[in-house]
Amino acid sequence: MNDAKEEVRARLAIEDVIGEYVQLKRSGRYWRGLSPFTNEKTPSFYVTPERDIWHDFSSNKGGDVFGFIMEVEGLDFRGALELLARKAGIDLAQYDNRTPKDLSQRKNRIFEMNHLAMNYFQREMVKSKLALEYISDKRHLTRETVLTWGIGFAPENSQLKYLLLDKKFTEAEIRGAGLVGGRGGEMFRSRMMIPLRDGQGQVVGFTGRIIGDGEPKYLNTPATILYDKGRQVFGLNFAKTAIRQQDFTVLVEGNLDVISSHQAGIANVVACAGTALTRDHLKSLSRLSHNIRLCFDGDRAGVAATERAIGLAEDLEVKLSVISLEGAKDPDELIQENSALWQAAIERHTPAVDWVIDQYAEREDLATADGKKTLATKALRLIRNLRDPVDQEFYLKKVAHLTDVSLATLMQKMSSTGSATTPSRRILKPTKVTRREYTRRDEKYLIDNILAIALSQPRLRSVLHNLPDTYLTGTSGKAKYYLLGEKIDVDSELADTLAELEIVADRELDNVDERVLLLGYLRDLELSKLKARFEQLSRELASSLDSGGHDRVAILNGVVNAIKRDLNLLEKTGARDDFAGLFKVWDQRKEQNT
C-alpha cells in the first residue's frame, strides 16, 4: 500500500489535517498549538509542513500525518489510511489486491448501504403526512435541520431490504449492517430515523424514535463493524469546530436535545448514543477540549451517572461540571420555550463534585446523626478517588461544614474506610516550583535536549568536548562535531536533525537557567548509563558467584563498587551549578579504559 500512502500524502497538507484537531498558529517555518494528548497550557505541539512531520514535546510523541491520525483517533495504520483516503477522495481498492472479504471492503459496503438507507428514509418521510406532522409540528425541526442531519422516516411496511437486494447486496450483508433483524425482517418500522455518524460525518448506523404508541421508544442499530455504542458520540462531526472554539463540550442525554440545540445556534453539544457514558466517550471529547459540561437528569440515576463520570474523568484529566435545568425535563423542552434559557443554563454550570455532594446533602436529613453519617460516607467515597490533594482537602472542608464534623474526623474516616481496590490517597501539601524541573526521560530525549541547548547557547558548547564519544553515535555525533565548529559535511539527515533541535530549543529554553537545565540533562544521562551498567554487572556477578569463578567475582566486585562511588558522586553534584563532579566521573572512566 506504499503507493496509496504516498498518494494520500501528496493530496493532503499535514497542517490542514492536524488543524481539524488542533488549533494551529504559524510560528516561522512551523505551525504551533496546544497538545491534543495532554492538558498543557503552553503550546508545545509543532507541525513542520516542509517535512510533513509533527512533534508533541509534552507527550514526546511525533511522526507523520498517518501517525497523528493513529494517535488521535485510536486507529491502526490501515484504519488511519482509510480515513485519510476518504478525506482525500482516493479509492483504496485500486491499490488493494486482497479478497472482497477484506475488512475494509466490508466496511465500505456498509457505508454504502447506510447511505442508501438514509436516502430511502428521507424519501419515505416526504410521502408520510404522519411523519411530517411529527417532525415539523411536534418536534419543531426546520427543513434545513432535517436535510443537514439526514432525518427521515421508516414506514410500517418498509421495503428497504428489497431495495438493497436490488442493488446487489446480499441478505447477509444487510444483516451485518444492522438494517434487518435475525429473522430477516426490517429492523426499523414506524420510526423517525436519525443517522448516527462517525467523526468524519459518514453514516455508521441509525437511531429510530417511535411515532405513536409502541416500545421501545428509541431503537438503535445493533453493534456492527462500524458502530460501537460505547465509542459513538452523537453529533460530534457537527460539534467539533464549536467545541474547539469555545473550549468546552456540553454532553446531554438525548439525540433530539443535540439537534434542537444546534438548530438554536448552540453547536458545541453532543450526546452518548443511547448508552451510559464510557471512558472512550470522554477520551474522544478530551481530544477537542478537556472541559466537559454534563446535562443529566437530577434523579438518583443521574447522580450515579455523574459520580461514575467523575471517576472516569480523573484518569483523563478532564474537568467536569454539571448543568442544571429549571422548569424543564430536558434541553429540548427548554429550547422550545426559549433558547436563551438553555444558553443561560449552560453558563450556570457547577463543578461536578460540588453538584454531586449537594445532591447527596439534599437527600439527607442533616439535623440527625444518621443523615450526617450517610452524607459523609457517600461524599468520602467520591473524594477518596480524586487525584489532586488540593481538591481532596477542599471538598473535605466542604463536607465538614455541611455535617458540622471536624476535618480531622473526616480524614480519619476516609483513611479507615479505604480498601485494597480503592486505596485512600494521602493528603499532601502542594509544593511550590520555583523553576522548570527537568524530568528523567529516555536517553534519546536527554541527548536531543543536550544538543538543543548547545545549538542555542554557544557559550555552553564546550561541555560537548567532555561528553564521551560513545554517548553519541550516528546523526547525534555529527551534530556534536558540527556544533563544535569542526568541518563536517551537512547532509540532509543532519540538516533535518538540526531543524528538529531548533524546535526543542524553542520549547525548552523559555525563562530557564540553561546551565542548570543542561547539568540536569547531563546528570540524568550519566545516571542512566551507570545504572544500566550497574544492573548488567550485578547480574554477571551473581552468575559468577553461582559458577564459582572467584577471579571474575573479584574483578566484577571492584567495578561494581567503583560504579557505586560514581553514582554517589553524581548525586552530590545535584545541588551545585557546575560540571566538575560529572567531568571527574568521565575522566576516571577514560583512565580505567586505558
For residues 395-421, average pLDDT = 82
Phi, psi of 207 (to 5 degrees): -120, 135
Residue 91 has pLDDT above 90, yes or no: no
Q: What is the pLDDT of residue 566?
A: 60
Other residues' Cβ atoms within 10 Å of the Cβ of residue 112? 16
> How distant is the alpha carbon of residue 593 from its chain centre?
48
The CB-side HSE value for 348 (13 A sphere, CA atoms) comes to 11
Amino acid at 4: A
Three-state secondary structure string covering 50-102 = HHCEEEECCCCEEECHHHHHHHHHCCCHHHHHHHHHHHHCCCHHHHCCCCCCC
For residue 283, pLDDT over 60 is answered with: yes
Lowest mean pLDDT among 217-226, 246-255, 356-365: 217-226
What order of strands is seen across the sheet that includes strand 25-27?
25-27, 30-33, 45-48, 53-56, 61-63
- Secondary structure string (H, E, C) spanning 253-286: CCHHHHHHHHHCCCCCEEEECCCCCCHHHHHHHH
Residue 575: pLDDT band with limits 50, 70, 90: very low
Give strand pairing partners of 45: 33, 56
Query: What's the CA gap between 574 and 343, in Å, rounded?
Result: 54
Beta bridge partners of 320: 292
3-state SS assignment for residue 44: coil
Mean pLDDT for 122-134 is 96
CA distance readout (Å), 338 to 136, 206, 327, 356, 588: 17, 29, 12, 27, 79
Q: pLDDT at residue 431 above 70?
A: no
For the chain, percent of residues with pLDDT exceeding 90: 36
The DSSP-derived string for 312-348 is HHHHHT-EEEE---SS-SSHHHHHHH-HHHHHHHHHT
Count of CB atoms within 10 A of residue 142's CB?
A: 11
- 33-38, long-range: CB within 8 Å, 24+ apart, which pairs? 35/59, 36/72, 36/287, 36/288, 37/61, 37/71, 37/72, 37/287, 38/317
Q: 91-105, 142-156, 249-263, 360-374: lowest mean pLDDT where?
A: 91-105
What global pTM score does this model have? 0.59
Record the cell numbers describing residue 366, joined without a space: 442533616
Digit-coded pLDDT (tens) for 183-236 = 889 999 999 999 999 887 899 999 999 998 888 899 999 888 888 888 889 999
Question: What integer pLDDT is reported at residue 62 of this predicted model?
Answer: 84
Sign of the Cα pseudo-torsion (17, 201, 302, 257, in order): positive
What integer pLDDT is reported at residue 420 of this predicted model?
A: 35
Omega within 30 of 0 (cis) for the link into 195: no
- Please enumerate in sequence order all residues whose Cβ is within 8 A of that of 78, keeping only pairs 6 or more positions apart, or say none: 104
Question: What letter does residue 186 receive in the DSSP assignment?
Answer: B
Amino acid at 402: L
Q: Give the CA distances from residue 281 to residues 277, 318, 323, in Å, rounded to whole numbers and listed in that order.
A: 6, 12, 18
Alpha carbon distance 422, 173 (integer Å): 46
- How crowded is residue 256: how many other Cβ atoms within 10 Å of its Cβ? 21
Within 153-235, where are the H helices?
160-166, 171-176
Side chain identity at residue 228, one-letter code: D
Written as one letter, the residue type at 140 is H
- Report the pLDDT averaged over residues 107-116: 94
pLDDT over 80 at 179, yes or no? yes
Cβ–Cβ contacts within 10 Å for residue 81, how many? 22
Instruction: Report how far residue 129's alpha carbon sits from residue 143's, in angstroms, rounded to the nearest whole number.
Output: 15
Contact criterion met (CB below 8 Å) for 143 and 151: no
Indicate the range of 167-176, 306-315, 382-391, 573-582 predicted with least confidence. 573-582
